[in-house]
A and B are shown apart, each in its own frame.
Chain A
């Protein structure tokens, strides 16, 4: 079967076309979903792309979580559907309470666009099944507010539950415990600051992003189960 991916487009999103290109190249059927819709087409994976939803006014993701489509995204997740938030999408998922923590300004108080190394610290998820435990992936970051923070008790719980899926090898933004990407307790909602969709082609610097995006598609098409 072909995986169906829905990419949510908020006013101010800007990585939605890149997400479409990346998932399409991996064989998925991709549909763009405008934020104002009150229904969600039938999709296997919902992607909240990078950008500056609603201009990121007030606070990153603070307005986007009120977009009508977000109620349907929540329903999708509650039904066990996969959700991936990339960069601004991660910020929105945190604001919406679908993932723990919040994203603060980078420690250096500068926007940073650079290649970084990520370590897969839990490969037993739908997002990382193609990776070896401890595998290092080269994927770029592109953010001003990527400094993830949560209360110590929350961080402890995430550690115990193995919800910290990706960590920076060399922390670029000051995030707690080098967190680059996490998942929810049910392991079907994922958020990360780096941009795997930008790392799907050697010509552009790396194709390690395919490990992550491909894992999600495997999960949908059940190939992961066969391989495991």
Chain B
């Protein structure tokens, strides 16, 4: 039973927030107004807990054309060549309804890119689930991957990479993040409602009851066991309409007929109406009887906050309305004039029966609450950091190696990415399965190099260090492919911000990202914060997912991770610290331990490694280059070998061999190159001050570590079969 006095609480607003609304309006809000405030002031839309921390992030560089606050960041990769880059989360919807939750996550990020007037050209999907031996995980993996595949493939945007991570902490809170790269083909568009008297046009799908309260009910509250009842709050996607919307939006952008443009995502139509008016200092009158509805009997408040998918809002000079509607008709999309720009500074919602809402646009879009929430270092952290980190030697090195190679974390994710169209657009020079994706831009030599990374275990052990490691690894992935890291987008996945220890983790992660981004020269172009990733009081690891964007002037110079020729020399670049085991794959998989401190990172060594890798690629010195990370040197070598259909022969002199093989020291890479290139590569390493050790050479059919070795076929079967077998076992 909903009582009018406490309705705001059911909508996710606190008593204090209701008081603030009353003060701002000088009266009680109407139902419709209350609904609009509930979505616009939700954590998801207003960033009320995160905003004061995010201000500390660097966001400027000469090549950053648009920074945080718009639909997507815009980065100039080469003179006159710009791309849009943005990451989003769709965590809560994907837990409640994996297929549609994941699908609409793809749709939403694509419309963010479209809102800038850019063509979406690549997607990446960082996914996190509970342990794979839990049948519930198998169900979620199947549903999420199918949802991404069905939506992404249909709209014709390649899914070129991502992550699939399994940890206990994500069992009740899977993370479904999605990043999108867009090519700016036309002049940029902005979400601004300029020009009194201009028409406001709603384009795309009809508005239905799906997704009511997605931002406030799903994304801004914790879950409990009754959460499946929230399924009606999950939006339902229609990729066919999105496909039409993409071409229609690009044609509209090319036409120059639009004054302002924004997508409808979280918060429904309440969001672009208030944000576009607030940004332009104008107002907007919206006649919701003009909104094309899926169900005739929808309540006004439902229309205002419905999160039905595949919709965009355009501001158009009245003289151009017919031309805009004609383009929409050509693409078989519905489009209606639903309002006009005013100079009142207010969002007025009208209806045949009169005025339903009349509130200042600023109050909705820009004057949401800002909380400086309490921070407290978790009491358990000292004990965790002081505990043994799980570096004890294995009983058998070869068995430990195979155990890691066949773990769900490291084993091939081919089962996942073969379900994604990763080739459409003829730009995927390097796709899934490598360190970074290399996407040649249509009609150009220039490539965008993109990678996503989110080392949750490191962040759990030390949020500040973990965040720095996340940025460093994402940048290293880009550099290994030959790209110069330029900028990041970030998706910050956390627990309940009302809990001081979660908020402390958040603040530390943001501080770590900021420091690493400043040191590596990769500012933040924007991103997304997803709080309340808790179920029944149990929070996820603090999980910042970093989406790194880099540039490569000539896609033909990109370097892959695969070994290419028997006889090529293999070198390990960068120092290995035998103590870097905290949070490592080895510690977790072999010894069952997640404790201690994460690997130590020296950002100047990291930066030097990147310069070495980028210059080596530019000079075509390398046959292969591979980031050395999860599972250490042993797994890095195996991944390069298996990708190339080759083996290797290496020998290391170190004592405590496992410490050298499985340590996860950052700032390292494995490169291979023709034997005649040894001196040149050594000199390059010296020039950049990077330690380089020749480890051995590429060989035909055996992964030979000196003291032990396995046949190529055995390793391939373990690596390629691991994930499929684990999933099949879990579902049977």
Contact = CB atoms under 8 A, between A and B. Distances in A.
B425 A204 contact: no
Interface in A1-15: 11-12, 14-15
B154 interface: yes
A17 interface: yes
A12 B244 contact: yes
Contacts of B422: 113
Given A11-B331, A15-B156, A52 B421 contact: no
A15 B424 contact: yes
A145 to B, nearest CB: 12
Contacts of B392: none
B240 A55 contact: yes
B604 interface: no
Interface string A87-118: 00000000000000000000000111110000
A18 B426 contact: yes
Interface string A184-206: 00000000000101101101100
Contacts of B150: 111
A76 interface: no
Contact of B240 (A22, A57, A110, A203): A57
A111 B240 contact: no
A173 to B, nearest CB: 12
A195 B153 CA distance: 14
Contacts of A51: 156, 243
Query: Which bucket holds chain A's interface residue count?
Result: 20 to 34
A140 interface: yes
A162 interface: no
A91 B244 CA distance: 21
A142 interface: yes
A69 to B, nearest CB: 15
A14 to B, nearest CB: 3
Contacts of A200: 426
A204 B426 CA distance: 7
Given A140-B423, A142-B424, A203-B429, A114 B331 contact: no
A219 interface: no
A14 B243 contact: yes
B149 interface: yes
A62 to B, nearest CB: 14
B327 to A, nearest CB: 13
Contacts, number: 79
Given A11-B244, A14-B243, A52 B154 contact: yes
A154 interface: no
B419 A12 contact: no
A203 B560 CA distance: 12
Given A52-B240, A52-B243, A204 B155 contact: no
B154 to A, nearest CB: 5
Contact of A54 (B156, B240, B421): B240
B142 to A, nearest CB: 10
A12 B424 contact: no
B182 to A, nearest CB: 15
B686 interface: no
A55 B429 contact: no
B429 A204 contact: yes
A113 B421 contact: yes
A26 interface: no
B28 interface: no
A55 B556 contact: no
B555 interface: yes
B239 interface: yes
Given A11-B331, A14-B156, A111 B423 contact: no
Given A54-B240, A204-B426, A204-B429, A14 B419 contact: no
Given A14-B155, A15-B156, A55-B154, A111 B424 contact: no
Nearest to B414: A114
A197 B425 CA distance: 10
A78 interface: no
Given A11-B244, A203-B556, A113 B419 contact: yes
B418 interface: yes
A55 B153 CA distance: 11
A18 B424 contact: yes
A140 B556 CA distance: 21
A142 B155 contact: no
B428 interface: yes
A23 to B, nearest CB: 12
Nearest to A14: B156
Contacts of A54: 240
A216 to B, nearest CB: 18
A46 B418 CA distance: 30
B224 interface: no
A107 B404 CA distance: 31
Contacts of A114: 418
Contacts of B238: 55
15 contacts: A11-B243, A11-B331, A15-B156, A18-B424, A18-B426, A54-B240, A55-B154, A55-B238, A55-B239, A110-B419, A111-B153, A111-B419, A113-B423, A142-B153, A203-B429
Interface of A: 11-12, 14-15, 17-18, 21-22, 51-52, 54-57, 110-114, 140, 142, 195, 197-198, 200-201, 203-204
Given A18-B424, A52-B153, A198-B424, 11 more contacts: A11-B240, A12-B154, A17-B442, A21-B442, A52-B154, A52-B240, A52-B243, A57-B240, A113-B153, A113-B419, A204-B423
For the complex of A and B, list the 8 residue pairs with the smallest distance between their C-beta atoms, beginning with the closest. A14-B156, A55-B240, A111-B419, A52-B154, A111-B149, A113-B421, A142-B421, A198-B423
